[in-house]
Amino acid sequence: MTFSAPALRPGSPPVRAPHVGLVILALATGGFAIGTTEFASMSMLPLFSQGLGIDAPTAGHVISAYALGVVVGAPVMTVLGARVPRRRLLIILMAMFTLFNGLTGLSPNYHWMLVFRFLAGLPHGAYFGVAALVASSLVPANRRTRAVGQMFLGLTIATVIGVPLASWLGQAVGWRWAFALVALLGIATMSAVAAFAPEIRADEDASPWRELGALKRPQVWFTLAIGAIGFGGLFAVYTYLADTLVAVTHMSLSTVPWVIGVFGLGLTVGNMIVPVFADRALMRTAGGLLVWSIAALGLFPFMAGNVWTLGLNVFLIGIGGALATVLQTRLMDVAGDAQGLAASLNHSAFNTANALGPFLGGLAIAHGYGWTSPGWVGSLLAVAGLAIWSVSVVADRRNVAQEATAIC
pLDDT, tens digit, 9 for 90 and up, residues 168-227: 888 788 889 999 999 999 999 999 999 998 887 766 655 566 666 667 788 889 999 999
Q: Which pLDDT score, from 0 to 100, does residue 1 have?
A: 35
CA distance linking residue 37 with residue 163, whole number of Å: 8
| Fold (CATH) for 210-402 | Growth Hormone; Chain: A; (1.20.1250)
pLDDT digits (tens, 9 = 90+) for 80-136: 887 888 899 999 999 999 999 999 999 999 899 999 999 999 999 889 988 988 888
pLDDT digits (tens, 9 = 90+) for 44-74: 777 777 888 887 667 777 877 888 888 888 8
CA distance linking residue 53 with residue 396, whole number of Å: 54
Helical axes 144-157 vs 110-137, angle rounded to 10°: 150
The amino acid occupying position 213 is G
Name which of 26, 42, 53 is nearest 257 in CA terms: 42
Domain ranges of the chain: 11-206, 210-402
Q: Which pLDDT score, from 0 to 100, does residue 338 have?
A: 67
pLDDT digits (tens, 9 = 90+) for 241-300: 877 888 898 887 677 778 888 988 999 999 899 999 998 899 999 999 999 999 999 999
Model confidence band, residue 16 (pLDDT cutoffs 50, 70, 90): low
- Do residues 73 and 123 touch, judged by C-beta distance below 8 A? yes
The amino acid occupying position 35 is G
CA distance linking residue 350 with residue 229, whole number of Å: 8
Contacts of 111 (CB under 8 A, 6+ apart): none
Higher pLDDT, 179 or 2: 179
The answer to whether the 11-206 and 210-402 domains have the same CATH topology is yes
Q: Is 69 left (phi over 0), alpha (psi -120 to 50) or beta?
A: alpha
pLDDT(8) > 70: no
Mean pLDDT, to the nearest integer, of 359-363?
A: 86
Q: What CATH class is the domain 11-206?
A: mainly alpha
Output the 3-class SS for the chain.
CCCEECCCCCCCCCCCCCCHHHHHHHHHHHHHHHHHHHHHHHHCHHHHHHHCCCCHHHHHHHHHHHHHHHHHHHHHHHHHCCCCCHHHHHHHHHHHHHHHHHHHHCCCCHHHHHHHHHHHHHHHHHHHHHHHHHHHHCCCHHHHHHHHHHHHHHHHHHHHHHHHHHHHHHHHHCHHHHHHHHHHHHHHHHHHHHHHCCEECCCCCCCHHHHHHHHHCHHHHHHHHHHHHHCHHHHHHHHCHHHHHHHCCCCCHHHHHHHHHHHHHHHHHHHHHHHHHHCCCHHHHHHHHHHHHHHHHHHHHHHCCCHHHHHHHHHHHHHHHHHHHHHHHHHHHHCCCCHHHHHHHHHHHHHHHHHHHHHHHHHHHHCCCCCCHHHHHHHHHHHHHHHHHHHHHHHHHHHHHHHHHHHC
Q: Which pLDDT score, from 0 to 100, does residue 96 have?
A: 96
Which CA distances in Å does 360 have to 236, 259, 329?
8, 23, 28
What is the reported pTM?
Answer: 0.80
